[in-house]
Amino acid sequence: MLISDKINAAFNAQIGHELGNSNQYVAIAVYFDAESLKGLAKIFYKQAEEERGHAMKFLEFLIDAGGKVEIPAIPAVQNAFASAEAAAQLAFDAEIRTTNQINDLVTLAIAEKNYIAQNFLQWFVNEQLEEVSSAQTNLDVIKKAGSNLLTVEAYMAHANK
């Protein structure tokens, strides 16, 4: 086994966090979909798929490293939102929390001098820069649009071409 029990457990926990984020983004996409905001819904359905992909990366790493995959219980997500801004804020907060989780994993891998785990985690360090940046943009654009969310739809259709 190329990783300690401690790293193995921490990576299993992260699989749970990534799957939890995936579920949360499906719920946000459904909220926008029900509001006929198809552009925003599409962004979050796609984001949900990406989060599942992140969980799979950790899972595959554990298998390759001779670890043991144990998918933890996934907490219930928030399904109701007071506004589009509230939904976008929740997504932004989730990305900040995830960044802190990834940083903690890097700290652990460094403490254990586990260079394989450190190298694997670098992809996630870079990914979080993009994730936080795009979550910030979504939140900013929704805030600027105020009650006219159709301008957000137009912006997203243009910006995500």
Binding site residues, Fe ion, CB under 5 A: 18, 51, 54, 131
Contact 31, 25 (CB under 8 A): no
Q: Least CB distance from residue 107 to Fe ion, whole Å? A: 18
Q: Least CB distance from residue 6 to Fe ion, whole Å? A: 21
Q: What angle do CA 135, 41, 50 make, to 5 degrees?
A: 60
Q: What tokens appear for 87 in the block?
A: 């939904």
For Fe ion, which is the closer residue by CB, 31 or 124?
A: 124
Q: What tokens appear for 28 in the block?
A: 């946000």
Q: Which residues contact 78 (CB under 8 A, 6 or more apart)?
A: 24, 27, 90
Residue nearest to Fe ion (CB): 54
Q: What tokens appear for 40 in the block?
A: 């925003």
For Fe ion, which is the closer residue by CB, 51 or 153?
A: 51
Q: Least CB distance from residue 51 to Fe ion, whole Å? A: 5
For Fe ion, which is the closer residue by CB, 45 or 151?
A: 45
